[in-house]
A and B are shown apart, each in its own frame.
Chain A
Amino acid sequence: MKKQLIQLEINNRLYEVPVNPRDLLVDVIRNKVGLTGTKKGCGQGDCGACTVLIDGVPVLSCITLAIACQGKKITTIEGLADAQGNLHPLQQAFLDHGAVQCGFCTPGMILTAKALLDRNPRPTELQIKRAIAGNICRCTGYKKIVEAIDAAAKEISTGGVK
């Protein structure tokens, strides 16, 4: 299959990458762009580890064609900390609340949570659970993840951090 050069905007930076029309976004981000924070846990859209934000919406990058993402804003876990390297409140809350163990679900989980808080700054516990229901975590039992998201929501809405 013939490769074509496309532009992808990832974390506010433009990357030119040669892709096959059937190349998946997760593989392009990980292997061609080199941002390995996006994880591949199942390759079938079941586990949520590959979640990235496309125009602010959580998307499973392992079942998304890279070629279809031209002209869109892609955010990966590497794009969350600020320009000085300070953690996003969600990242900080995951750390402080023990919501990270093996860490493999963490990037996808945090991005899913970010999309939730961006559209619903003070979600209920049930809304948090619903939002992350597509992200599997096998280590933590989810409790500390839900607590961390709740704490980050409070932090963001009181601190005015965006």
Chain B
Amino acid sequence: MNNRKFTQVGRSVPRVDGPAKVKGEAIYTGDMVLPGMAYGRIKRSPYAHALIKKIDYSKALALPGVLAVITGEEAPNKWGIVPQTANEVALAVGKVRFWGEGVAAVAALDEETAEAALELIEVEYEPLPVLLDPFESMRRAGEVRIHEDKPDNILHQAEQVFGDPDKAFAECTYVLEKEFRTSYVNHAFLEPHAALASYDVQSGKLQLWSSTQVPHYLHRQLSIVLEMPMSKIRVTVPAVGGGFGGKGEASSADFCAALLSRKIGRPVRVTFERSEVFATNKGRHPCYMKMKIGLDKDGYIQAVDFENTLDGGAYAGWGMVVMFYTASMIHLPYKVPNARARVRRVFTNKPTCGAMRGLGGVQPRFAMECLLDEMAEMIGISPYELKMKNAIESGYRSVSNLHVPHAEYKKCLQTAVEKSGYLEKHGKLPFGKGIGLAGGYYISGTAYTLYQAYKPHTTVLIRVDTEGGVTVHCAAADIGQGCNTVMAQMAAEALGVHYEDVHVVSGDTELGTFDLGSFASRLTYATGAAILEAAEEINQKLKEVAAGMVGCRADQLEIKDRRFTSIFEPRKTIEWEKVVDVYTNTVGTLTGIGHFSPPRLKGIDLTRGVRVQGANIGHSPTFGFSCQIWEVDVDLETGKIRAHKVTEAGDCGQPVNPMSVDGQVEGSIMFALGQALYEEMKLDADGRMLNPSLHDYKVPTAMELPEIDTTIVESYDPTAPFGVKESGEGPVQPTIPAIVNAIYDAIGVRFTELPITPEKVLRALKEKKEKEKV
């Protein structure tokens, strides 16, 4: 497909749900009230690790207005987004493993009564030793076990070796090894989780409205926990106030609302407080990383060795996936012929870590981009030159068998360097001012479903008739990223109509056709492919009718701008609506269906003895790339860092909606800026969170907004539907290392631990001064 011909793809149209949102009319789950609805609240543990000896809720149940109380014993089935490691329960059974874990839930006529009832539930705990550090957790596993079936307190560990890294390192001219550590951060999406369940006793059916990113996976988990067939459960996604991965698995709000509703036969809504959002976390894994890179005499990367211990918190969540992603991420966007990754995810008594925007990429990217920055200095070349030298190009296949069909990474590096004046500024700014460069990439969708299945990842049904015009059905979840808008644009493009003509029915497992959910930057690519397939069927049928109407052959017609026109005799033309009218009158409603299954690659060559343990997890249909260059001022008196300018260039393939792409990029930049400089959840020695509020957990405000200069580089992936790639997770990757490299350029200190607070800066400056004296 030639991208120059696009009329609907490539338009910066305002989002379809925009008017409702600016008027305050968009309905989020927490806004919904159903007739007879009760209010649910969850009682949470004040201990980070304790046995539950007894729960007495008789007083709570006796409180007027209380309708039901449930405990974990009533729904003990274990669930997990990764079924191989499913170890969570709706409410704790016998033991709590983190501060804030739910132990009981109440449904009452109003919120005040539900709140009051929580106070009347008496829970007797026997506190256990609390393990908060992953290394201590492994060391003391013999004495304190967090999960019975994991005697070493490790969820999973793996080693992946590609090529011969040891031999390669021995032959390298430059080798550098360093340790890096990332912090414990939360998504801080603005809408706390909410779930509204309505169980109908007569039909045995449950409908759940939820602020989820993954209606399908939630659907499955509900089926497991409630022991109900999926066909009796319907999951509906109203407007969602952000997710960033934090709503990428079920939450206790979902289960408790559903269980309570089934118990009392009336609707129940559970809406989290902000502190519960922090307590249930599922944010980014703190990583303790050691990375070693070896370069030959000319600066070409010969080997990478990566060790990563992920602090997973109390339960499995997305943990195993995140762990393998960190291992997989070292293979791009540079050519790495030999690599080894040793990774393990460890249980601790903290609110569980999970998926967060740019999952598994952000931590190793920080290490790799900072190490390369330092190695460029070792060699005496610019970091830009070193990265350009090693950057991959279209058609690259990594030693781990990641195939990159298309890459404009070099163009990203070049564009950002030229626009920022990096080469003129780097190393030449006065003390306290600095500029830093980093690159990054991310997947556009994954290869596998999380449970074993061969089914397509997305199905799109397009319906065309005189009543609705074009209606696109797909159970994808628009969590604010704008997939409904983008789907409408792509469907309009594929059908030759206008974006405004298309209705999208999404976010509902009953009305929408199958989709896995909003994660792994998969939706634009996946739904785009399915839309093309569905549209082809419709176009063919309409063309046959149109051909008879205008008097030519069907294959001579093109559909554009709501018209069928003969490519040979342009006067033979007819309006799209008229053709649909005739088709509907003679045949009836027209439908087309399309599926998307990720292309499969053949596995690693086992005859060469290459051991692969899950490297394929990062294998994606295509990849997005980007580069960021940050400029910072460091206040030498206060240690405060002002990151005041970022120049970004990104390869997202063909942008479907450039305004939306810019929004994703700008949002990513500020999101990652928070992790670089400000954000960190803190626990006391007993595992209680000290800052579970947006007052004490510091996310960037508009005052931290730097000058942002973004460029969508000219790009088109010929293997992708409409040439598209991801744009919402790649741009978080370079932010942290680019800022860290800029700080080095400013004050000559290489930070390896996040966040880089004023205290750390002052301490480092003091140490530096003392060292220089000696």
Contacts and interface: CB of A to CB of B under 8 A. Distances in A.
Is chain A's binding surface mostly helix, strand, loop or mixed? loop
Interface string A70-104: 00000011101100000100011011111011111
Contact of A110 (B18, B22, B239): B22
B480 A101 contact: yes
A36 B190 contact: no
Interface string B189-209: 111100000000000000000
Contacts of B708: 141, 143
Nearest to B27: A36
A145 interface: yes
A91 B20 CA distance: 10
A56 to B, nearest CB: 18
Interface in B220-254: 239-242, 244
Interface stretch (B45-53, B133-141, B313-321, B660-668): B660-668
A111 B19 CA distance: 16
Contact of B190 (A96, A128, A136): A136
A28 interface: no
B673 to A, nearest CB: 9
B650 to A, nearest CB: 14
B274 A41 contact: yes
Contact of A141 (B12, B28, B659, B705): B705
Interface string B15-56: 101111111111110110100000000000000000000000
A130 B705 CA distance: 11
Given A95-B14, A98-B12, A138-B188, A103 B668 contact: no
Interface in B667-703: 667-671, 693-695, 699, 701-703
A136 B678 CA distance: 14
B479 interface: yes
Nearest to A42: B274
B14 A98 contact: yes
Interface residues of B, number: 54
Is chain B's binding surface mostly helix, strand, loop or mixed? loop
Given A136-B699, A138-B242, A44 B14 contact: no
A45 B482 CA distance: 28
A53 to B, nearest CB: 13
A32 to B, nearest CB: 11
Contact of A40 (B30, B33, B703, B705): B30
Contacts of A145: 702
A58 interface: no
A139 interface: yes
Contacts of A134: 701
A102 B191 contact: yes
A66 interface: no
B459 interface: no
B619 to A, nearest CB: 29
A146 B706 CA distance: 12
Contact of B17 (A39, A87, A92, A103): A103
Contacts of A80: 23
Nearest to A49: B190
A129 interface: yes
A146 B479 CA distance: 22
Contact of A129 (B21, B240, B703): B703
A139 B242 CA distance: 7
B24 A44 contact: no
Given A46-B694, A133-B703, A142-B705, A102 B242 contact: yes
Contact of B19 (A31, A42, A87, A142): A87
A156 interface: no
A61 interface: no
Contacts of A45: 695
Given A36-B31, A41-B190, A140 B22 contact: no
B14 A47 contact: no
B500 interface: no
Contacts of A41: 190-192, 241, 274, 694
17 contacts: A30-B31, A38-B24, A40-B192, A41-B191, A47-B274, A77-B23, A91-B22, A101-B663, A102-B189, A103-B18, A103-B480, A136-B190, A139-B242, A141-B705, A142-B702, A144-B663, A146-B702
Sorted from nearest, which 10 A-B pairs have the closest CB atoms?
A37-B24, A102-B480, A104-B241, A103-B21, A77-B24, A141-B666, A141-B670, A36-B31, A46-B694, A91-B22
